[in-house]
């Protein structure tokens, strides 16, 4: 694993006021937090005030934060360039209430001079959009009023979700408090089998430790498998750290990270790597050589089974998209499977590109044509059905296989509906088969 010093030649800056080489060895999470405090040292469990690099909210959470911001009595946000507002859950507006939520955000952004406001035509699912635009970089400390803010750990940033009141305080002051978390280390070994990606690794991991297995702990991912893992798969894994209770999910900053961020941002950034002798509350060595595509059964992301043990579970709907699996490689994989196929006559298949640029690329490279010709419907970028919002809400008794991140009771609609989580390849194959199944059943090579 690369060290912080090895990245200095790439223009990565460190906070010189903190000598990270002195004192006890530290995990990646501790180093990033320390660099954002006024302290010279910290310990696990400490309550610390931290300076934030970016504050994020969406059309569900931002209105609450804006109202609390007004109650504080502060007239201006601490830095309009470091606030990001993204109406992505119910936009384009689902109904009058959704329209009013977005209007409140829009007016606040104009009043405060917030340039990072992204609505219809410029919008994307927030956790796909921000990395794409280079708004989050290695070493950043990011808080968002959305639990899946932990996605940005794929870039080596300490990113975590908080409540709207906390977000209001951060918008006003640029600061927030944190309890310094313990860290669990996950080392992945072996060679990935066909159709096995980041979604399968994280579902398998959550199945091993449970939905509270990393509660208020940082999840630090590493090992030979991670070193070869594409960035889109890393985003997927970091995104679902919260499904194990994790405070954040952190990946090393390596050549893949640097290639991803090149050209996306011009501002300076810092990179932090864990010390070789850092202390972890737990270390798991995970061999994925025999790992199959994974499917999480209702009603927990930890209720995981390998595809070969799923059985013939009929479905009514398939959803491919979300902040977990709405990136380019996810859509490309789904298109590879659906090319020349037809969605089963009893299945609704919904494709949701993560951003406008992904949507445009899918159009230019023929993916949208593949989906439409197969009988799927393509949505504009939106969280949509992931949280039972709209465009894919389930009725009582219906089953959906989805590339989203949660399958709790009523998550996608009626409390008597069921959601099964999988990777894009399995979701696409299932849409064609009319039941949960894999690409090998369609002779996809």
Distance between CA 261 and CA 264 in Å, rounded? 5
CATH number of domain containing 81: 3.30.499.10
| Pair (345, 379) in one structural domain | yes
Per-residue confidence at 15, pLDDT binned at 50, 70, 90?
very low
Residue 11 has pLDDT above 80, yes or no: no
CA–CA gap between residue 192 and residue 200 (Å, rounded): 10
Q: Which of 1-10, 138-147, 394-403 has the lowest mean pLDDT?
A: 1-10
**Please, which pLDDT band fits residue 307 given cuts at 50, 70 and 90?**
very high
Average pLDDT of the residues in 331-357: 97
Q: Residue 360: which H helix or E strand, with range? A: helix 356-364
Given 273, 291, 309, which residue is the final one in a domain? 291
272, 337: one domain: no
CB–CB of 59/101 below 8 Å? yes
Residue 110 clears pLDDT 70, i.e. is over it:
yes
Classify burial at 266, counting beta carbons within 10 Å of its beta carbon; exposed 0-12, middle 13-18, buried 19 or more.
exposed
Is there a single domain that holds both residue 260 and residue 368? Answer: no
Residue after which a domain boundary falls, among 237, 259, 291 = 291
The yes-or-no verdict on residue 288 having pLDDT over 50 is yes
What's the average model confidence in pLDDT over 233-254?
97
Residue 85 has pLDDT above 90, yes or no: yes
Given 247, 274, 291, the domain boundary residue is 291
- Are residues 313 and 217 located together in one domain of the fold? no
Bridge-partner residues for 355, per DSSP? 124
**Spatial separation of the C-alpha atoms in residues 206 and 214, rounded to whole Å:** 9
Q: Does residue 250 sit in the same domain as residue 321?
A: no
Tell me how far the alpha carbon of residue 416 is from its chain's centroid.
27
Average pLDDT over residues 16-37: 79
Confidence band of 22 (pLDDT split at 50, 70, 90): low
Q: How many domains does the chain have?
A: 2
Cβ atoms < 10 Å from Cβ of 430: 32
CA 85, CA 59: separation in Å to the nearest integer?
8
Same domain, 253 and 325: no
**Pick from 431, 426, 414, 413: nearest CA to 318:** 431
Q: Answer yes or no: do 118 and 260 share one domain.
A: yes
Which structural domain range is residue 358 located in? Answer: 294-442
Token digits of residue 413: 């609609």
Mean pLDDT score of the chain? 92
Statement to judge: residues 311 and 252 lie in one domain: no
Does the pLDDT value for residue 194 go beyond 80?
yes
Provide the token pair at 365.
């490279």
What confidence score (pLDDT) does residue 21 get?
A: 53
């Amino acid at each position: 694993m690369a060290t912080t010093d090895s990245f200095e030649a790439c223009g990565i800056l460190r906070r010189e006021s903190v000598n990270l080489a002195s004192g006890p060895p530290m995990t990646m999470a501790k180093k990033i937090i320390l660099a954002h405090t006024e302290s010279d040292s910290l310990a696990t469990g400490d309550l610390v005030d931290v300076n934030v690099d970016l504050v994020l909210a969406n059309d569900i959470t931002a209105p609450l934060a804006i109202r609390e911001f007004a109650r504080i009595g502060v007239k201006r946000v601490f830095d309009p360039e470091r606030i990001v507002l993204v109406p992505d859950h119910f936009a384009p507006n689902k109904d009058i209430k959704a329209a009013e939520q977005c209007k409140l955000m829009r007016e606040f952004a104009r009043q405060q001079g917030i340039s990072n406001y992204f609505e219809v035509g410029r919008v994307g699912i927030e956790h796909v959009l921000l990395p794409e635009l280079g708004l989050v970089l290695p070493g950043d400390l990011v808080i968002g009023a959305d639990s899946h803010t932990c996605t940005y750990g794929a870039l080596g940033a300490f990113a975590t979700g908080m409540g709207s009141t906390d977000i209001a305080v951060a918008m006003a002051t640029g600061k927030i408090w944190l309890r310094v978390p313990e860290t669990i280390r996950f080392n992945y070994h072996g060679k990935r089998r066909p159709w096995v990606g980041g979604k399968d690794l994280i579902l398998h991991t959550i199945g091993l430790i449970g939905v509270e297995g990393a509660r208020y702990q940082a999840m630090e991912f590493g090992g030979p498998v991670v070193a070869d893992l594409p960035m889109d798969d890393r985003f997927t894994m970091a995104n679902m750290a919260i499904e194990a209770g994790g405070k954040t999910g952190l990946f090393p900053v390596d050549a893949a990270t640097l290639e991803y961020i090149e050209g996306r941002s011009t501002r300076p950034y810092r990179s932090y790597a864990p010390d070789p002798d850092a202390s972890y509350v737990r270390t798991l060595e995970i061999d994925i050589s025999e790992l199959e595509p994974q499917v999480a059964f209702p009603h927990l992301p930890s209720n995981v089974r390998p595809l070969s043990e799923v059985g013939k579970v009929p479905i009514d709907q398939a959803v491919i998209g979300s902040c977990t699996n709405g990136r380019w490689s996810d859509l490309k994989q789904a298109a590879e499977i659906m090319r020349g196929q037809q969605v089963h006559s009893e299945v609704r298949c919904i494709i949701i590109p993560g951003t406008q640029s992904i949507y445009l690329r899918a159009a230019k490279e023929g993916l949208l044509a593949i989906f439409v010709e197969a009988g799927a419907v393509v949505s504009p970028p939106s969280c949509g059905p992931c949280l039972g919002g709209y465009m894919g809400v389930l009725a009582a008794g219906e089953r959906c296989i989805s590339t989203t991140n949660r399958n709790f009771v009523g998550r996608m609609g009626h409390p008597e509906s069921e959601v099964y989580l999988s990777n894009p390849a399995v979701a696409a194959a299932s849409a064609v088969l009319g039941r949960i199944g894999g690409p090998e059943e369609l002779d996809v090579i």
